[in-house]
Amino acid sequence: MPVDSAQLRTLSTKPGVYLFRDGRGVVLYVGKAKVLRSRVRSYFRREADLSPKNREMVRLIDALETLVVGTEAEALILEANLIKEHLPRFNILMRDDKKYPYIKVTVREPFPRVYVTRRVTSDGARYFGPYTSVGPMRQALDVIKRLHTVRSCRYNLPKEAPERACLDYHIGLCKAPCVGLQTEADYRGMVNEILRILEGDTEELRADVEVTMRDASNALDFERAARMRDVLAGLDALAKEQRVHRAQGGDLDIVGMARDGDLGVGVVLKVRAGLLLGRSAQRFAKILDESDEDVLSSLVSRHYLGKGELGMVDLPRHVLLPGAFADSDLLAEILTEAAGRQVAVLEPQRGEKRRLVDLAEENARHMLEDRVATLSHAPDRAEDALFSLQDELDLKVVPRLIVCFDVSHMQGTETVASAVVFENGEPRRAAYRHMRIKGAWGNDDYASMAEAVGRYFRRRLEEGKPLPDLAVIDGGKGQLSAAKEALMALSLDDVAVISLAKKKEEVFIPGVSASIRLDKRNRALHLLQRARDEAHRFAHRYNRKLRSKRTLRSDLGDIPGIGPHRQRTLLRRFGSLKGVKEATKDEIARVPGFSEALASRVLTYLGR
């Protein structure tokens, strides 16, 4: 690792992007930072603090390259574009789902063209789609052709022009702007109508077409009246295909995400004026060790920031997310500036907007299931896995409802547990539960597991809810025994319970000394692993959240003279506890309510 301490000490303290390269100059990783020096140095401290993936990456680093920018927003955009350019091995691998077609309108041309393409480039054109079903796309094009005489030629008008109009003019499919028989202003007005159709704004246009149809009928122009009748039918078909919901504001991008082991799918549903106009999909790989926040950040950042000119992208008024991530506020600022109006990035918890996020996540789950099924050649994967699990574990019933438990703590503090639910082989996130362990068990994972299992099942009994067909415990024989005792204390001896030990992926059953080793390709094992990994992720996230709050309380709250008001003032001024630690005494002393003596006390207590 040739990156030496001298180079790390001289790094900029400004925002920027860093690239790690291997001995051949290949980019291993691209990252962004609010403070380059602090972020890059964090990779070269204690190896034990790094994840296995980052340890492997640091071992391969041969060169470091940094690019200093003016703002965090510029760093976020640059990171997205560099990842798209280099496809680094250690970044989350993401591929656009490019098999679906788009309708392209070349709006920068004096006489724009409208045609189908499968390639999206940063050429200033407007793209509509992707159309996951060809039917709505064909209907939209059919309406456009019947209603408007958009040109089909590829001349660079008005620089290039034929000597005479083509056949399209003579059969009424074009008004021949190429030879000056249609003005640019008249043609542009026609294109604006086409954009309205593609954006989903068909109601006002429908009223205009009805008037035109009646006028043509009254004038005995039955051919034109029939054409307008067909246009109305096409507009009605588009509205029926596209309509999902009349949400407040009407212009939404709705993000959904699903993951299964090392694979994942992200979906962005595009709703304009309450109409679903398209769905963009991204496929992930190598995400097993990545958090939901990191995957979501990569999905959203690259969807909006990795496509060239933001000003030419049809930006919504609201972006609805399934969860939060660190740069959501920054993304909102960038999109607002690009759109020239407010773009809100939201994480709805309830109501109709939450229902739309659930719809996007359902789309993502279906796409992921299709992808995993294709990879495993198992069209009925979930159903097969459940029956296989019943056979392998000799269960009385097919385990359609599974609950999986995990316990997480940091050296015996902030002990928490998770209970995640799978129904018919799929995660049912609305039924997930996490809990703080009340008993003072410290490092006793067995007692903590017994408390978690007992509390979960006791509540199910009290609420009269159906009991799971199978309880899965993350751990070995000790955790399994503790869980079984908790169930027996509730007279639930008939509830099937097993444990899955991660080291060798062994399955333990109560009363059986030998473990069960399932084949690594067995779908039953894959289902258990998914449940176990999901329980671990959910518990770890809650533990990390509690530890973060405790760190702030203990590190700042224990300083004499630093009450809640001064704690909030410091965090607002420096952004985080880390920012306070890195501040100088003079900088802290200049904060309202602080003196040099109080600033010295803060730094002394924080180890400076």
* pLDDT single digits (tens) 285-306: 778 778 888 888 888 887 887 6
Give yes or no: residues 576 and 527 share one domain. Answer: no
Residue whose entry in the numeric block shows the structure tokens 């604006």: 192
Count of domains in the chain?
5
- Residue 345 is assigned to a structural domain of this protein: yes
Residues with Cβ < 8 Å from 507, sequence gap 6 or more?
Answer: 392, 393, 498, 499, 500, 501, 515, 516, 517, 518, 528
Count of CB atoms within 10 A of residue 147's CB? 22
**What is the CB neighbour count within 10 angstroms for residue 442?**
14
Residue 287: inside a domain:
yes
CB 252 within 8 A of CB 318: yes
What does the DSSP 8-state code read for residue 136?
A: H
Domain residue limits at 566 = 558-605
What residues contact 192, with CB distance under 8 A and at least 6 apart?
A: none
d(CA 123, CA 109): 11
Tell me: do 347 and 436 sit in the same domain: no
Confidence of residue 157 (pLDDT cuts 50, 70, 90): confident
User: How far apart (Å, rounded) are the C-alpha atoms in residues 382 and 426?
Assistant: 8
CATH of the domain at 531: 3.30.420.340
Same structural domain, 29 and 132: no
The distance of Cα 3 from the centroid of its chain, to the nearest Å, equals 33
Inter-CA distances, 251 with 219, 318, 561, Å: 40, 7, 49
Residues 212 and 338 in one domain: no
Is 247 a domain residue?
no
Contact between residue 455 and residue 435 where contact means Cβ atoms under 8 Å apart: yes
Q: Is the pLDDT of residue 353 over 90?
A: no
Whether 110 maps to a domain, the answer reads: yes
Domain boundary among 217, 242, 267: 242
* Residue 471: pLDDT over 90: yes
Q: Is the confidence at residue 312, as pLDDT, over 50?
A: no
The percent of residues above 90 in pLDDT, for the chain, comes to 17
Give the pLDDT confidence score for residue 509 in this predicted structure.
94
Task: Confirm whether 96 is domain-assigned.
Answer: no
329: domain CATH number? Answer: 3.30.420
- What is the average per-residue pLDDT within 364-369? 74
Q: Is 295 inside a domain boundary? A: yes
Facing residues of 115 across strands?
A: 104
- Phi/psi at 403 (5° precision): -120, 135
Tell me which of 545, 568, 587 is where a domain ends: 545
397 plus 497 within the same structural domain: yes
Q: Can you tell me the distance from the alpha carbon of 170 to that of 147, in angstroms, rounded to the nearest whole number?
A: 17
Report whether 459 contacts 492 (CB < 8 A): no
Q: Which residue has the higher pLDDT, 534 or 213?
A: 534
Task: Summarize pLDDT for 474-518 with one digit per residue, the tens.
Answer: 999 999 999 999 999 999 988 899 999 887 889 999 988 889 988
Tell me, yes or no, whether 550 lies in a domain: no
Residues 404 and 527 in one domain: yes
Same domain for 482 and 590, yes or no, is no
Contact at 8 Å (CB) between 543 and 291? no
Q: What is the pLDDT of residue 94?
A: 66
* Cβ count within 10 A of residue 491: 8
User: For residues 312 and 126, is the Cβ–Cβ distance under 8 A?
Assistant: yes
Same-domain pairing of 540 and 577 = no
Q: How many residues in total does the chain contain?
A: 608
Maximum mean pLDDT: which of 90-104, 338-352, 468-482: 468-482
| pTM score of the predicted model | 0.39
How does the average pLDDT of the chain come out, rounded?
80
Which tens digit of pLDDT belongs to each residue from 245-277? Answer: 344 447 888 999 888 777 888 888 877 766 666
| pLDDT exceeds cutoff 70 at 136 | no
Coil, strand or helix: which one is 31? Answer: strand
One DSSP character per residue, 76-143 reads HHHHHHHHHHH--TTSPEEEE-TTS-EEEE-TTSSS--EEEES---SSS-EEE---SSHHHHHHHHHH
With cut-offs at 50, 70 and 90, classify the pLDDT of residue 549. Answer: low
Q: In the prediction, which pLDDT does 49 show?
A: 74
pLDDT of residue 378: 39
Q: Are residues 178 and 279 in the same domain?
A: no
Over residues 95-119, mean pLDDT = 77
Q: With contact defined as beta carbons under 8 Å apart, do 31 and 88 qualify?
A: no
Residue 242: pLDDT band (50, 70, 90) is very low
538 with 586, same domain?
A: no
pLDDT of residue 389: 87
What DSSP string describes 187-229?
HHHHHHHHHHHHTT--HHHHHHHHHHHHHHHHTT-HHHHHHHH
Mean pLDDT of 524-548: 83
pLDDT for the residue numbered 383: 62
Query: Which helix (H) or strand (E) element contains residue 419?
Result: strand 413-423
Torsion of CA 219, 220, 222, 223, to 10 degrees: -70
Work out the pLDDT band at 452, boundaries 50, 70, 90: very high
Alpha-carbon distance of 521 to 531, in angstroms, equals 16
The reply to whether 29 and 129 lie within a common domain is: no
pLDDT single digits (tens) 407-442: 887 665 678 889 999 988 889 888 999 888 887 776
CATH number, domain with residue 43? 3.40.1440.10
**Of 338, 370, 402, at which residue does a domain stop?**
370
Q: Best-predicted range by mean pLDDT among 137-141, 369-373, 432-436, 449-453?
A: 449-453
* DSSP code, position 274: T
Type of residue numbered 43: Y
Tell me what the mean pLDDT of segment 371-400 comes to.
Answer: 67
In tens, the pLDDT along 316-335 reads: 889 999 988 888 888 888 88
Does residue 419 fall inside a structural domain? yes
Residue 581: which CATH number? 1.10.150.20
Question: Measured between alpha carbons, how far is residue 46 from residues 2, 50, 66 in Å?
Answer: 17, 7, 22
| Residues 566, 512 within the same domain | no
